[in-house]
Structure 1
Amino acid sequence: MSEPRSPLLKDLLGPDAIATIADAGVAASPRFDRAAFVAAALAGLDTLSVMQRVRHIADALHPALPAAYPAALNILRAMAPRLTHAFQAMAITEYVPRHGLSDVDRSLAALADLTRFGSAEFAIRPFLAQDVVGTLRTMRQWSHHENEHVRRLASEGSRPRLPWGSRIAAFRQDPTLAAPILDTLRADPSVYVRKSVANHLNDIGKDRPDWLVAHLSNWSDADPRTAWIIRHALRSLVKQGDPAALTLLGASHEAELVVDGFTIAPAAVTLGEAITLDVRLRSTASVDQRVVVDYRLHYVRPHGRRAAKVFKLKTFDLVAGATATLTTRQTIRNFSTRRHHAGDHVVELLVNGKVRATAAFALRALSVPPAA
């Protein structure tokens, strides 16, 4: 039997979402033209991806709203709390850069309000492209805001490699531009914000690993919130076995240990089933040592190709002469960004960035249901 099809992300902005946005517009103001919005929003919707739908719906709002930009913003602000999903709010937030680039102060204030309902991380990018210095001045103020969504926008909106977002070359060339925002948020009380800061720093590490390690070496990890950000910010470099990143985490590049066991069970699975990885490490060191344990799964691709992805397992202090047992479970299922193919999948155990053992499991081919 084939695996059930997962709902597509773009379906979050389908006809039902458009009806919800239209209802919010009518409830917010008698000046909102429901019929004009619905007609424009549904036209050509089926062929669009999720981010194309965000922009398309934002454009469909224009004939439904007052021509005067301040009046339109007031209606959008009143609509946002009535929406039922963050993607709906993102669609109305996108209206701001499409019509408000010449009214910067008013537009940025609107984004700070609207981001509480659906992140304005994409909507802020055109303002950064237009004036990176001036926009960052406002975003630095946001990093001190009482609302976690606004603080997160300061970090997420200025990411050098924001997924699905337009690239701002200045951030990739000069990490110091947004560094004051990251420094302000390095011990933020919100996990939501800290994840964004870590992802922002991880982005920097892909272009400027030397800068990232040097900058984080000046952060104190005494606060567990900051220590968490540092670990997650360095995750891509650690997966690559970067010596400087490992040293910053307190892990020497060559761990003194023996792998007494690395097994995967069951030996063969069908899509949708899970594998369990068991690891047994024995220290051969005379002192305690920090070890970073990951595993790299080599996915089977069409035409005999392979594609590797590294997964985190555990970072911990291995006591001198002691043995540690680690176990993790992973379900082998399809995602919109990853499709699985039958065949033997090799898994490498990485300790402090080096391959210390290998194992494998087979993914069985899905059976094809008989024709009706």
Structure 2
Amino acid sequence: MPEENSLLLKEIINRDRLAHIAQETAAISSGFDAARFKALAMENLDGLAIMQRIRRVATSLHLTLPGSYADNVDVLCALAPRINHSFASIALAEYVALYGQDHFDLSMKALRFLTRFGSAEFAVRPFLARDLERTLTVMEGWARDENEHVRRLASEGSRPRLPWSFQLKELVVDPQPVACILEALKSDPSLYVRKSVANHLNDITKNHPGWVLERLAQWPMDNPHTKWIARHALRTLIKKGDRGALAVIGAGGRTQVRIANFAIVPSGITLGERIALNASIISTSDQPQRLVVDYAIHYVKKSGMPSRKVFKLKEMDLTPADTRELSASQLIRDFTTRKHYAGHHRVELVVNGEVLAESGFELTI
């Protein structure tokens, strides 16, 4: 995540929000110590990142709610609809993750409810780590729930490589235990759910591309929801030019095209300026072709060696003798995740996984 977005995100849990949570909790629980909650939750707040603030809310609730775990879960469920930001509500599910490990059935019921107000994707993972089989059995039921937030939790919570959370090592090694969940959601009507399923499958392609391709080969690609999931699930493999992945989306054949006038302009820039990519793609086939067109920049690293990154450009159906104009624009500037270095940056035009043209630009820092 870019640093500036991270700074904005952590302000979701600011002093005003904490005061709001204290006020709403006090309205539900007469024994709640609102003043102590605010003091605990706001201590050294400025130095805490967003997920640290989420956990701070949960631990502060634990120290200031008067009841047993079961009683406090009732308070949290009553509190969830009253919190005025869905991301802040994640703290309620975090409470369940921290203090509900010995109350499995009650905790699963609570997470199913709380995820409707603030996703429980992070909170369910300690339960998966502790007892994978038992937790996945519950989540298989969630995958068939009438509520899209609960169905999404079944997929998102069990992702092997969920961002901002720890990896589920057992599922990294073997994804088969989640097959029933993914199968149940393969044509989900909710885009919110489909995005999660696609991301889940994309996670799996990092270690088990064959497993994903074999499964997708059995799914009904005449269903537009399933086809959407497959296309987005295979994005990493498609960028790598994987023939099996390209075949799933109808672009597995060798291309019969000619590239003309491929150029990067300007040919020299300084950091913070923009480059433009231009080319013409011309069919040399007597048959229609499905094409996935990407471009790759070979960034110069500190060592002077290149580091290749592929960017999406366009997908198209090219008819015989057809010509299409291609263009793209990209700002070359530093990010938290990428620092640029001076030198020649090679740029490739990639069609269905094949490099068909090369150009480049010189970067001055």
TM-score, structure 2 normalization = 0.90
Counterpart residue number, 1:229: 229
1:165 corresponds to:
165
Aligned residues with identical type, % of pairs? 49
1:186 is the counterpart of 2:186: yes
Report the CA distance between 1:271 and its aligned residue: 6.0
Q: Name the structure 2 match of 1:201.
A: 201
| Structure 2: distance between partners of 1:298 and 1:83 | 46
1:41 aligns to 2:60 (yes or no): no
Deviates more, 1:196-205 or 1:88-97: 88-97
Larger mean Cα displacement after TM superposition, 289-298 or 204-213: 289-298
**What is the number of equivalent residue pairs in this alignment?**
362
2-structure distance, mates of 1:83, 1:58: 14
Q: Tell which deviates more after alignment, 210-219 or 332-341.
A: 332-341
Looking at structure 1, the residues matched to 228 and 152 of structure 2 have their Cα atoms a distance apart, in angstroms, of 16
AA in 2 matched with 1:127: F
| Contact preservation (8 Å) 2:245, 2:252 | no
Match of 1:259 in 2: 259
SS at match of 1:86: coil
Distance 1:64 1:175, change over 3 A: same
In structure 2, the CA distance between the partners of 1:299 and 1:127, relative to structure 1 (3 Å rule), is same
Residue 281 of structure 1 corresponds to which residue in structure 2? 281
**Alignment correspondent of 1:369:** none
Q: How does 1:103-118 map to 2 (within 5 A)?
A: 103-118=103-118
CA distance in 1, matches of 2:26, 2:344: 56
What is the CA-CA distance between 1:160 and the residue it aligns to? 1.0
Gaps of 5+ in 2: none
Spell out the pairing of 1:86-97 with structure 2 (5 A cutoff). Answer: 86-97=86-97
CA separation of 1:159/1:231 partners in 2, compared to 1, >3 Å: closer, same or farther? Answer: same
Aligned residue number for residue 121 of structure 1:
121
2:116 match: secondary structure: coil
Whole-angstrom CA distance in 2 between matches of 1:343 and 1:22: 55
Letter in 1 for 2:106: R
Q: 2 CA distance for matches of 1:16 and 1:269? A: 45
Match of 1:370 in 2: none
1:247-304 CA-partner distances (Å, limit 9, x unpaired):
2222235311111133334555666665443332111122112211112233344453
Read off the aligned partner of 1:208 and give its amino acid letter. H
Q: Distance in 2 between matches of 1:228 and 1:346?
A: 32
Matched to 1:16, the amino acid is D
1:304 equivalent in structure 2: 304
The one-letter amino acid of 1:264's match is: I
* 1:77 matched residue in structure 2: 77
Contact 1:261 1:281 in 2 (8 A): no
Residue by residue over 1:218-255, the C-alpha shift from the partner in whole angstroms, topping out at 9 and shown as x without a partner, is 01110111111111111111111112212222223531
Change (3 A) 1:49 1:287: same
1:294 equivalent to 2:290? Answer no
What corresponds to 2:11 in structure 1?
11
- Report the Cα offset of residue 308 of structure 1: 3.0
State the 1:66 CA deviation.
Answer: 2.4
Of the structure 1 ranges 132-141 and 351-360, higher mean CA displacement relative to structure 2 is found in: 351-360
Q: Which runs of 5+ in 1 are unaligned?
A: 366-372
The aligned runs of 1:326-337 (5 Å cut-off) are 326-332=326-332, 335-337=335-337
| Cα distance between partner residues in 2 of 1:22 and 1:363 | 53
Quote the Cα distance in structure 2 between the aligned partners of 1:174 and 1:219.
20
Give the Cα separation in 2 of the matches to 1:264 and 1:19: 53
CA distance in 2 between counterparts of 1:7 and 1:98 reads 24
**Deviating more after overlay: 271-280 vs 134-143:** 271-280
What do residues 79-121 of structure 1 show as CA deviations (whole Å, max 9, x unaligned)?
2222233331112210001000111111111111111121111
The SS at the match of 2:206 is: helix
1:196-230 CA-partner distances (Å, limit 9, x unpaired): 00000011111101111111100111011111111
Kindly indicate whether the alpha-carbon contact (under 8 Å) linking 1:21 and 1:88 is maintained by their aligned counterparts in 2.
no
- Structure 1 residues 318 and 43: CA distance shift in structure 2, 3 A: same
Do the aligned partners of 1:143 and 1:184 also contact (CA within 8 Å) in 2?
yes
Deviation for aligned residue 1:327? 2.9
Q: Distance in 2 between matches of 1:331 and 1:170?
A: 40
Distance 1:310 1:115, change over 3 A: same
What is the distance in 1 between the residues matched to 2:48 and 2:22? Answer: 19
State the one-letter code of the partner of 1:99: Y
Q: 1:41 to 1:331 in 2, by over 3 A?
A: same
Range with bigger deviation, 325-334 or 351-360: 325-334
Tell me, in whole angstroms, the C-alpha distance in 2 between the residues paired with 1:132 and 1:328: 45
Q: Answer with 11-20 or 102-111: which moved more.
A: 11-20
- AA aligned opposite 1:51: M
Comparing 269-278 and 109-118, the one that deviates more: 269-278
1:80–1:220: structure 2 CA closer, same or farther, 3 Å change rule?
same
1:20 shift after superposition: 2.9
